[in-house]
Amino acid sequence: MAINYNPKVGAILVCNFGDYVRRPDGTTVSNEFNSRLSPEMVKNRLVMVINAKIDSNACIVVPLSTTLDSTKLKKGLHVELTADLIPEIHYFSQQIRWAKADLVQQVSKFRLFKLRAKERGHIEHVVAPEIVAAVQRAIIKGYSEKVVD
């Protein structure tokens, strides 16, 4: 069931980003504007909440990924999250992840779900403020091609 509350800044949730429309041969349709389009984010992913009060029905989130993009990491657009930062949960193993600050976006709360515990029930998990601050700095870097004096 989707969340119906304002999560804390730094909360880790699951976001169902949806999927691409595909042709029978498996290729993606690039002119179906009522669905996701390549290279937009797809599938169920862990996300970090950056702002839950911008809109009563939406949150600004940063997707988390297990795929390292060393170029974007060096540019300061991705933030490494150590394996111990997020507990082992249903469907998502405990491992190193990267906050992809260049992919920050607003999503409907209907897309957001609490973390399911490995055994049963749900858990609330919020990362430390210094981790959130590092991700916020990376977001600013991603929106600024260069610093304007």
- pLDDT tens-digit readout, 49-93: 999 998 899 999 999 999 999 999 999 999 999 999 998 898 899
Task: Report if residue 53 sits inside a domain.
Answer: yes
Buried b (16+ CB within 10 A) or exposed e, 96-109: ebbbbbbbbbebeb
Task: Report if residue 7 sits inside a domain.
Answer: no
Taking the model in full, what pTM does it have?
0.88
Reduced to 3 states (helix: H, G, I; strand: E, B; else coil), residue 24 is coil
Place of tokens 């507990």: 87
Give the number of domains in the chain: 1
CATH code assigned at 73: 2.30.30.110
Task: Report if residue 137 sits inside a domain.
Answer: yes
